[in-house]
């Protein structure tokens, strides 16, 4: 894990509260922490896996993804770099596509 003594995020980032019912936010964070603990040491791959988990759970804009992974101890510039680098239309190279409104979706 990046930082084992991170404080728990008490609430979803602004604008995400409608996506999570009571207790679902903390359950999602627990699942994300568990996933993170099972990832390898490569930070690029770890961030990509956590981004994918966010997108699969409806956290699908750069601002929201950064808002979730920043408090996890990840540099938000690095998160943005990985998100941009792995976004496109080639399934052999990219993990996500993005629509004109800035919503990401998995292409693999």
The two structure tokens encoding residue 65: 């993804």
pLDDT at 1 over 70: no
pLDDT at 69 over 50: yes
Higher pLDDT, 15 or 98: 98
pLDDT at 40 over 80: yes
Cα(71)–Cα(83) distance, integer angstroms: 17
The full set of domain ranges for the chain reads 22-106
> What average pLDDT does the segment 51-64 reach?
95
Q: What does the pLDDT read at residue 49?
A: 96
Nearest Cα residue to 70 out of 88, 54, 86, 94: 54
Nearest Cα residue to 42 out of 71, 82, 12: 82
């Amino acid at each position: 894990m990046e930082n084992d003594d991170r404080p728990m995020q008490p609430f979803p980032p602004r604008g995400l509260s409608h996506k999570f019912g009571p207790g679902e936010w903390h359950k999602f964070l627990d699942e994300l922490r568990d996933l993170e603990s099972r990832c390898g040491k490569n930070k690029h791959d770890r961030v990509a896996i956590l981004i994918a988990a966010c997108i699969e759970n409806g956290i699908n804009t750069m601002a929201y993804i950064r808002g979730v992974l920043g408090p996890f101890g990840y540099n938000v510039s690095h998160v943005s770099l990985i998100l941009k680098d792995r976004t496109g239309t080639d399934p052999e190279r990219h993990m996500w596509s993005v629509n004109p409104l800035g919503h990401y979706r998995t292409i693999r």
